[in-house]
């Protein structure tokens, strides 16, 4: 049984204004690999996941998860409790 690995690669690319091809060149992979990753058609090796995190200068957990990330602007999450 294969587990799904969710990621935020497309979001991070968009924030930084880089193309799939530019990211692929920086990582030393084929540009189609980035598309496969973004669509969840391919799970990265640990080595590649760490290289992606290093490239974006964020912890790997910011990019990859075994659970879906909450949608941006999702207001269904309960607000944090405020101290009295």
Quickly count: other Cβ atoms within 10 Å of residue 11's Cβ: 13
SS3 6: strand
What pLDDT is attached to residue 76?
61
Enumerate the β-bridge partners of residue 6: 65
Whether pTM > 0.75 for this model: the answer is: yes
SS3 65: strand
φ, ψ of residue 65 in degrees (nearest 5): -155, 155
Q: CA 9 to CA 39: how far, in whole Å?
A: 10
Enter the DSSP assignment of 77.
S
Convert the pLDDT of each residue in 30-77 to its tens digit.
999 999 999 999 999 999 999 999 999 999 999 999 888 887 776 665
């Amino acid at each position: 049984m294969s587990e799904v690995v969710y990621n935020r690669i497309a979001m991070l690319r968009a924030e930084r204004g880089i193309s799939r091809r530019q990211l692929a060149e920086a990582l030393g992979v084929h540009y189609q690999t980035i598309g496969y990753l973004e669509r969840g058609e391919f799970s990265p090796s640990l080595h590649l996941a760490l290289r992606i995190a290093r490239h974006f200068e964020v912890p790997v957990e910011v990019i990859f998860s075994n659970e879906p990330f909450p949608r941006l602007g999702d207001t269904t999450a309960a607000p944090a409790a405020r101290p009295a």
